[in-house]
Amino acid sequence: MAVEKARVPTTNGAKYLQQLCKHWSHKLDVKLRESEGVVRFPNAIATMAASADTLTVTVEAEDDETLQRMKGVVASHLDRFAFREAPLPFVWQKG
């Protein structure tokens, strides 16, 4: 399993993760709580957790190619919801 995590500075992380989870819940398995969300894609899982000033995004995938693609999918969708702050600064780290 390939895993990467990004800590994105924003004070609106809870709002963005809720919007994103609701957006994807129409087609995917989504678990949503007030400041945490998990989205299960066919070959990947995106986990998001919001604190007062950070949105932490973790993407797990079966292989590195899928991981790279899904990181882009998650980041681009978050940027759409965060259009006032976009582009959000994603700094991805292994593990």
> Using CA atoms, how far apart are residues 73 and 39, in angstroms rounded to an integer?
12
How many residues would you count in the chain?
95
Look at residue 70 in the predicted model and tell me its pLDDT. 97
**pLDDT score at 4:** 98
Select the more confidently predicted residue: 2 or 1. 2
41-68 confidence digits (pLDDT tens) = 999 999 999 999 999 999 999 999 999 9
Second CATH level (architecture) for the domain 2-85 = 2-Layer Sandwich (3.30)
